[in-house]
Amino acid sequence: MALIHIIEKFQPRNDEALLAKAEAAAPALHHSTHHPKTAWLGLPGRGGRLLPAGTLTPLEKGDTLVLDLGDHYVGTCRLTLTTRGSHPDAPAWLRLRFAEILDELYEAPEDYHGWVSSSWIQDERVHVDLLPGELALPRRYAFRYLAVEVLDTSPKYKLVVDELTVDATTSADDDALPQVRVTDPELDRVYRVGLRTLRSCMQREFEDGPKRDRRLWIGDLRLQALSNAASYRNMDLVRRCLYLFGGTRFPDGRVSACLFTQPEPAADDTWLFDYGLFYPVILEEYLRERPDPEALADLGPIALEQLHYALGLVGADGVVNETATANTFVDWQETMDKTACAQSILIYALGYGEALANRLRRALEAGELAAQRAALAKTARARFWDPARERVVSGGQENLASLVWMILAGVLTPQEADRALAQADELSKNGPMMTPYMHHYYITALLIAGRREQALGHIRYYWSSMIRAGADTFWEAWIPEHPDASPYGGRVINSYCHAWSCTPVYLLHTHFPELLASI
């Protein structure tokens, strides 16, 4: 997720007591050491030559060595460097490009001029003064491939990369994983790549993407928390993230859409209508997994505040207003009308809010929320549902996202949902879903509508297509029919290990248990 919202003179409100609890729940990071499995001289797939195992190739000016770890890791690294020829009489000047997928190496970073900062491209230039020696890089990278380009040595010596050592980190504990496999091999591969994705994003927080932007975003967190509950079950990490959002809020009490934890926890000056509404959803889902009276007492009222704030954005006509719709994400589809989505997500979240209010023994408030929910659903049905054509229409548009969220909000009956979803492919033509995040909600809508085979087929189709295109971890954005699409103006900036794409872990584990077998 990446968005640019700017509030002048933004003064977020930190609650140190809540942040202390967030810090207390911070996970230990597990470390593991990795080395390249294979190496090429030149770019693989672009004329590069696979080097025999154990080859130490002396590199001269202009040479590029590509090292392949064989899988995706997040961590720091160091290079052990030696030389051939005379004593080095000048520094080695290296360009180091870290890539999650090979395609990133095929694009020239200097050609990227999109709206997300090019500073995220993992592209370093380093001078090494002392050779032989070890080059320990101070930053963390998310990568499978490292391309070492020799910008210069000197005519007197060649450079040898003796070894690359990666110190990978994650707060995911492999020992906690359920010992299961998916009996369908293709879906098992999807399941494992999903686990790998989640694992790489689990650091001190649930990051949205360890390459970019690394922040904690609510929308991503919701899907990570679901998948985590079905796999690594690091519930303290979910607790930590909930406390972080609760502890770093807007002056008026809203939770931000995303937050920073470094140098100090701080809300970003970005609020999203739908993301704010997911806060009560995530809290309620967390409490369903693990009783936590303290978190309920601390965070439950904050979660309910989000609902009340959102309800304040419902107009006299019973429909969410422009402030709500203009700040609703749903998916990267710029021309999509989001009124039905925003209304539906409010309805959807109110269901979780009722549950929280009941947990807090606020029966009156629970009743109020239920009443609001019913009223909003009624308006939504009247406004957005065309019963004759069995279509959802939002702002004159028929789009798949509106249909999906009307189903998830329970505005349509399962039977209506089933019949309306028959038009999904056609609706997609009005604007293809761009993110695995949206695909996740599409699949849950299919499940509600009883279209289990179609849901499974879509998991297979969509996530497998990423694997066929080279994914070791699932991607931030992907349209199988438009492999070059990027919401950011260039694929080199895309995140290829992105939290919100890990949900086959949750979907397969929770909704298709019959496909799982012990290992």
Q: Tell which residue, 272, 220, 262, 265, has the closest CA to residue 12.
A: 265
Cα 516 to its chain centre, rounded Å, is 25
Q: Which one of 5-13, 160-168, 433-441, 473-481 is the stretch in contact with a copy of itself (CB under 8 A)?
A: 5-13
Q: Tell which residue, 102, 101, 146, has the closest CA to residue 126.
A: 146
Nearer to a copy of itself, 87 or 361 (CB): 87
Quote the least distance from Cβ 411 to a copy of itself, whole Å. Answer: 35
Q: Which one of 44-52, 201-209, 257-265, 324-332 is the stretch in contact with a copy of itself (CB under 8 A)?
A: 257-265
Quote the least distance from Cβ 314 to a copy of itself, whole Å. Answer: 29
Quote the least distance from Cβ 393 to a copy of itself, whole Å. Answer: 35
Measured at the CA of 118, the angle between CA 115 and CA 119, to 5 degrees, comes to 130
Quote the least distance from Cβ 256 to a copy of itself, whole Å. Answer: 10
Q: Tell which residue, 311, 317, 372, has the closest CA to residue 342.
A: 311
Nearer to a copy of itself, 151 or 375 (CB): 151
Quote the least distance from Cβ 157 to a copy of itself, whole Å. Answer: 9
Within 23-82, which residues bind a copy of itself (CB under 8 A)? none
Within 269-328, which residues bind a copy of itself (CB under 8 A)? 269
Nearer to a copy of itself, 4 or 108 (CB): 4
Nearer to a copy of itself, 86 or 413 (CB): 86
Contact 116, 179 (CB under 8 A): no
Task: Look at strands 157-170 and 64-85 and give their pairing.
Answer: antiparallel
3-state secondary structure at position 512 = coil
* DSSP, res 176: G
Q: Tell which residue, 399, 342, 403, 400, has the closest CA to residue 376.
A: 342
Quote the least distance from Cβ 283 to a copy of itself, whole Å. Answer: 24
Quote the least distance from Cβ 475 to a copy of itself, whole Å. Answer: 19
Q: Tell which residue, 352, 259, 268, has the closest CA to residue 307.
A: 352
Q: Does 266 bind a copy of itself (CB under 8 A)?
A: yes
Q: Does 134 bind a copy of itself (CB under 8 A)?
A: no
Q: Which residues have a Cβ under 8 Å from the Cβ of 387 and sit 6 or more positions away?
A: none
Within 179-218, which residues bind a copy of itself (CB under 8 A)? 212-213, 215
Quote the least distance from Cβ 332 to a copy of itself, whole Å. Answer: 17
Q: Does 130 bind a copy of itself (CB under 8 A)?
A: yes
What is the residue type of 498?
H
CA distance 339 to 363: 30
The only residue of 129, 175, 425, 453 in contact with a copy of itself, by rule CB under 8 A: 129
Nearer to a copy of itself, 90 or 515 (CB): 90
Quote the least distance from Cβ 414 to a copy of itself, whole Å. Answer: 41
For the chain, how big is the Rg over CA atoms in Å?
Answer: 24
Quote the least distance from Cβ 244 to a copy of itself, whole Å. Answer: 14
Contact 193, 463 (CB under 8 A): yes
CA distance 90 to 173: 45
Within 138-167, which residues bind a copy of itself (CB under 8 A)? 139, 151-156
Neighbours of 30 (CB within 10 A): 15
Contact 98, 76 (CB under 8 A): no
Binding mask 466-485 for a copy of itself (x = CB under 8 A): --------------------
Task: Look at strands 385-386 and 391-392 and give their pairing.
Answer: antiparallel
Nearer to a copy of itself, 112 or 437 (CB): 112
* Ramachandran angles phi, psi of 146, nearest 5°: -125, 120
CA distance 490 to 486: 6
Binding mask 81-120 for a copy of itself (x = CB under 8 A): ----xxx-xxxxx---------------------xxxxxx
Q: Where do contacts with a copy of itself occur on this chain (CB under 8 A)?
A: 2, 4, 6-7, 10, 85-87, 89-93, 115-120, 124-125, 127, 129-133, 139, 151-156, 212-213, 215, 260, 262-263, 266, 268-269
